[in-house]
Structure 1
Amino acid sequence: MVFVKVRDAEHLEEALKRFKRECEKNGILKEIKRRETYMPPSVKRKIKSQEAQRRMRRTKRKRF
């Protein structure tokens, strides 16, 4: 969980901006979006293999 203390003489907008930045850094919003819809295990496996293939292609390109 992300906590942000409002500093002395700090505007609430600045603290809110820091809070949003911390949430983004921790991947909270990404996790919420991922959990919004149900994804069957077969689809998860398919996406996982596609991402692995994409990573392999990227590493091959970088080597040359």
Structure 2
Amino acid sequence: MQVLVRDNNVDQALRVLKKKLQREGVFREMKARRSYEKQSEKRIREKDEAIRRARKDAKKRAQREGLLPKPKRKAPTRPRKTQSPSSAS
């Protein structure tokens, strides 16, 4: 996997690399391989994940079809303008 470093901006390159690794599932794979997981436990975990995904998809589908209310959106927060001591008088 390659990441280009532009203008000696290593921080940006690290962010890009981390995002690529997350998309590829490398972190998830490392976490899973820390310790051995029995096949029966793996099967149970994957089944639970599939059920969770199916419920989430069904909920989204119901919201799209108007059967459930859509989630309320949070109002964007705006930074408050503070007065400097010189402009207060």
- Is the shorter-chain TM-score for this pair beyond 0.5, marking a shared fold? yes
Superposed, 1:36-51 pairs within 5 Å as: 36-51=34-49
The structure whose residues are more often helix, as a share, is 1
State how many pairs are aligned: 62
Quote the offset at 1:56 in angstroms.
Answer: 4.0
Structure possessing the higher radius of gyration over alpha carbons = 2
Per the alignment, residue 26 of structure 2 pairs with 28
TM-score calculated relative to the size of structure 2: 0.55
Identity of aligned residues (%): 31
Q: Which runs of 5+ in 1 are unaligned?
A: none
Q: TM-score, normalised by structure 1?
A: 0.70
Unaligned runs of at least 5 residues, structure 2: 68-89
